[in-house]
Chain A
Amino acid sequence: MVGVASNLAPLTNECEGCHGVYEADRALVARMRAGDQRAFDEFFKDSAPRLVAFIARRTALDPATLEDIVQSALIKAVRHLASYRGEAALFTWLTEICRNELADEHRKAKRRPTHLSLDEPDAVHRWGEMLRAPQGQEPVPQLQAATERAEIMKVLESLPANYALALEAKYGDGLSVETIALQLGLTEIAAQSMLARAREAFRQRWQKRSAT
């Protein structure tokens, strides 16, 4: 009478084992467009902290700028909800908007003057703040950690996009396999298997990088 529709064409070919779960994201977006407050709450709770982390891992921006970028990205997202067609996971769509925001921010930063006038009273204070190491943090270990993080992110970014997202979700966002499966549109078994493949791919590239 009933059967899991494994023979149905997946809505996306983004990843193996997808079961059209982006339908759930589409449904969430449809509910938001219809004015459902709970849908907005769910959207914000699931997306905002992860987007902050997504950018923080790829940049060395201060919290205020991170906040600005996430805010701009989410505002653009809610303005253009109609253009989300469920061809990728909603979070993947949001990360693309974030990447564009980051690129804009980078362009703006390049246009801004790179010097600060010490004639401005505030500037002296700001320089002082910037030069002061945070309490309990020594500059050299900080730099080493930052360098290693940059290297790891470089390797992660070289992996297939769904591998990187899965690893970030597990190790960075601390999500359970069940939640990762839901968000990537996979069954739990497929998510487990993809995480294993992603970790192996990361391990191989990390070792190769270390060898060179």
Chain B
Amino acid sequence: MTDERSRNSEPSSIEDELLTSALRTPALSQEGLERVRAAVEREWRATVPRGAVAGKRRTALSSRLRWFAMAAAAVVAAVGVTSWVARLPVQTAPLGSISRSDEGALSVLSARFPPRNLTQGGELRVGDRVTAQGPALVALARGGTLRISAGSEVTVISPSQISLGRGLIYLDIPSGTGAGIPLRVITNAGAVEHVGTEFEVMSDDQTVRVRVREGRIRFVGRTATVVADAGTELLASPGKSIVERPIDTYGSDWLWTAALAPDYEIEGSSLISFLRWVSRELGRPLNFADANARQIADRTILHGSVRHQAPIDAMSNVLATTSLTYEIRGDAIWVRSSTSTAL
């Protein structure tokens, strides 16, 4: 604030001088501001879920005070544990459950539960702050998936709102899910809302990168709101204009999301549904080289399992049991029947 004054302090008219002289006021002393800050921060900490304050500031507590505080905290904790055992906490709303993650990959700080590690089947709930040491796949309660890359920090604010403190996540939200309420990802540089889509968000302290793979998102930054369609990347930093550029929706940049793709249950599913799933996971359009191939895909019902297989491997294995073959050409997947001529 002080730095900016000098840039604006060139009165050019009587009104400028009047306003400048009348509106500039002596600031509160630094000590005064610190006193206000301490009181307000104490109150703020009391209002947020216990244990949820991230990046606590170091205070000037003396060693004795710290020991005293620790002793008092131990007493409070003992009382807290007793009452916790007596009355289990009310469950908060779930965001989703863990479909895949390595042991110890997800550690959670929560307002209502002690710190815990999440494993497969564990639920991610409102108030949880997750730190990912390894990649994880979350099946969202509202439908769709959230994929979290290693090194990410995600806080669940509500069933339809998460905050990405840092790291890389990928959301696949099929249209028509979530009762029409968009899922929002809040970052330091703005908020991302899906409009039925697949998109990736990478965030750090200052910058956010959003890559839209399918559908459309709305990014609400500080300077503007931008709507971005599939094949677009947005880069935003506080106070700077949003940069947008085209990107490929397939390729090596997306391999990490394919590695975290949810299992597709093929038993009883039509081949066309399975191929569409592969197409979405790979970010490549699905094309049929001939009408016969399309008809076969429509009427073929699959049996068995492709669990724990990457989408491209699953497609190879499934098509090997049919009369169809596939080829990746350009950005698309081409499927053809044995009666088709060369692609």
Residues from chain B with a CB closer than 8 A to the CB of A172 are 19, 23-25
Bound CA span A177–B16, Å? 15
Bound CA span A26–B25, Å? 29
Report the count of interface residues on B (CB-CB < 8 A).
70
Contact A23 B191 (CB under 8 A): yes
- A131 lies within 8 A of chain B by Cβ: no
Pick the contact of B4: A1, A3, A176 (CB < 8 A): A176
Question: A175-198 toward B: CB 8 Å interface, digit per residue (1/0)?
Answer: 110110110000110000000000
- B91 lies within 8 A of chain A by Cβ: no
Contact B227 A57 (CB under 8 A): no
Bound CA span A33–B188, Å? 14
- The minimal Cβ–Cβ distance linking B25 to chain A, given in whole angstroms, is 4
- B248 lies within 8 A of chain A by Cβ: no
Residues from chain B with a CB closer than 8 A to the CB of A104 are none
Question: B19-44 toward A: CB 8 Å interface, digit per residue (1/0)?
Answer: 11111111111001101110111011
Contact A79 B47 (CB under 8 A): yes
Bound CA span A23–B220, Å? 7
- A143 lies within 8 A of chain B by Cβ: no
- Interface of A with B (CB < 8 Å)? 1-5, 8, 19-21, 23-24, 26-27, 30-38, 40-41, 44, 48-50, 52-53, 56-57, 63, 66-67, 70-71, 74-75, 78-79, 81, 145, 148-149, 152-153, 167-168, 170-176, 178-179, 181-182, 187-188, 199, 202-203, 206
Complex: chain A residue closest to B36, CB-CB:
A71
Q: A5-B226, A37-B56, A67-B32 are in contact. List 11 more A-B contacts (CB 8 A).
A: A19-B225, A40-B41, A52-B33, A63-B28, A71-B36, A75-B39, A81-B47, A170-B8, A171-B23, A172-B24, A203-B15
Contact B8 A175 (CB under 8 A): yes
Residue among B1, B56, B188, B244 with max Cβ neighbours from chain A (10 Å): B1
Contact A8 B229 (CB under 8 A): no
Give me the 7 closest cross-chain CB pairs, A-B, nearest first: A174-B5, A35-B52, A172-B23, A23-B220, A171-B19, A152-B22, A56-B25
Question: B225-266 toward A: CB 8 Å interface, digit per residue (1/0)?
Answer: 111110110100001000010100000000000000000000
Question: Is the contact region of chain A dominated by helix, strand, or loop, or is it mixed?
Answer: helix
Residues from chain A with a CB closer than 8 A to the CB of B21 are 145, 148-149
- B223 lies within 8 A of chain A by Cβ: yes
Contact B239 A53 (CB under 8 A): no
Contact A32 B163 (CB under 8 A): no
Bound CA span A153–B57, Å? 38
User: If the complex has contacts A1-B229, A67-B35, are A79 and B29 also in contact, measured as CB distance less than 8 A?
Assistant: no
Residues from chain B with a CB closer than 8 A to the CB of A21 are 220, 222-223
Contact A37 B57 (CB under 8 A): yes
* Interface pairs (23), CB distance under 8 Å: A2-B234, A5-B227, A8-B225, A20-B220, A24-B222, A26-B191, A27-B220, A33-B48, A34-B52, A36-B55, A37-B57, A44-B40, A48-B37, A63-B28, A63-B29, A70-B28, A78-B40, A167-B19, A178-B239, A179-B239, A182-B222, A199-B19, A202-B19
